[in-house]
Amino acid sequence: MNSLPDTLLLHCRRLFIRGLTRQVRIGIHDFEHQAPQRIVFDIDLYVPLAASTPLNDRLEEVVDYDFVRGVVSQAIDRGHTGLQETLCDAVMQALLAHPHVVAARVSTRKPDVYDDCEAVGVESFQWKAGQPAEGPAP
């Protein structure tokens, strides 16, 4: 029996977006309610090869990057969010709602919080409940 990571690597295509940067109203401190902060998103989606291998070289045959960017925009447009964990989870749930996405990794980071580090952030990995942890039988 294959492990979940093996299955994802062997049977899925990984779609990714790196460094998607948005101004976000986020934070629990009083000063964080005054202005938006820069948040950087890194996102991986795992889509079965059967649902992501175009036969006719058409966009409709794959998961579109615009879908991912739209999910992030919708999460931000809901208004002020207190925690990065909450924002990360909202993005994750919307991505997993896509019928072809079987797993996702979402990372958010604030690069402007502290002078002595590159960024502070959170990362989450989830797969859809009910998805098999192994690939098809050989």
Number of domains in the chain: 1
Could you tell me if residue 133 is inside a domain?
Answer: no
Assess if residue 129 is contained within a domain.
no
Residue percentage of the chain with pLDDT more than 90:
73
pLDDT at 89 over 60: yes
- Which residues fall within 8 angstroms of residue 8, CB to CB, at 6 or more apart? 14, 46, 102, 103, 127
The CATH number of residue 58's host domain is: 3.30.1130.10
pLDDT band at 137 (very low <50, low <70, confident <90, very high): very low
- Give residue 135's pLDDT band: very low, low, confident or very high (50, 70, 90): very low
| pTM assigned to the model | 0.87
Domain around 98: 4-117
| Other Cβ atoms closer than 10 A to 107 | 19
Model confidence at 46: pLDDT above 50: yes
